[in-house]
């Protein structure tokens, strides 16, 4: 459910049920980001969600979000909190926020933000999906843009290749 933090998800009965009986290989955890609630809320929330999964949990991955467009100075705090939580809890880390900020520096003309300055534009969503794919499957997303994909056809080959190529070049 959009806009809900980890504490809210923990209160939902279907969260535990789905984690225990859904047969998932992976579960991507995204904490509410704007405003970022801080290291303690992120860490405790992730721990609480992971506990709901029972004895045979999926592999959990933290989805590191990005700072608001008007406040890029908030990214280092978010990055540190996500990195620390992933390390302490042995979770995969999809460093979307880090890659997002790096891409913005290299391609300042590429608009990753939706008009609200907080959520992802289609290009930002492609970036996030590419980073998550690379994290979960430990392989590079393909530079081959499927011509029959209505989702990917919205991107020019240049935009698609710039984003996916940038993700491929990132370490980890």
Which pLDDT belongs to residue 1? 44
Which pLDDT belongs to residue 156? 84
pTM confidence score: 0.93
Across the 172 residues of the chain, what is the mean pLDDT of every consecutive 10-residue run?
A: 80 94 96 92 96 94 97 97 98 98 95 97 95 94 72 82 91 73
- What residues have CB less than 8 Å from 54, skipping those under 6 apart? 16, 19, 20
**DSSP states along 73-137:** GGHHHHHHHHHHHHHHHT-EEE-HHHHHHHHHHH-TTS--B-TTSSSB-HHHHHHHHHHHHHHHH
- What residues have CB less than 8 Å from 96, skipping those under 6 apart? 63, 64, 65, 66, 127, 128, 131, 132
């Amino acid at each position: 459910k959009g806009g809900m933090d980890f504490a809210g998800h923990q209160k939902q009965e279907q969260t535990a049920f789905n984690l225990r009986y859904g047969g998932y290989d992976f579960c991507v955890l995204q904490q509410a980001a704007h405003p970022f609630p801080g290291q303690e809320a992120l860490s405790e929330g992730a721990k609480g969600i992971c506990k709901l999964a029972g004895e045979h949990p999926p592999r959990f991955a933290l989805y590191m979000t990005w700072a608001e467009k008007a406040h890029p100075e908030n990214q280092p705090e978010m990055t540190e909190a996500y990195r620390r939580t992933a390390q302490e809890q042995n979770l995969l880390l999809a460093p979307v926020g880090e890659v997002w900020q790096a891409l913005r520096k290299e391609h300042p003309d590429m608009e990753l933000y939706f008009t609200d300055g907080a959520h992802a534009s289609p290009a930002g969503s492609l970036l996030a999906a590419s980073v998550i794919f690379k994290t979960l499957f430990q392989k590079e997303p393909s530079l081959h843009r499927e011509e029959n994909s209505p989702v990917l056809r919205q991107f020019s080959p240049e935009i698609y290749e710039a984003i996916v190529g940038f993700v491929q070049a990132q370490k980890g």
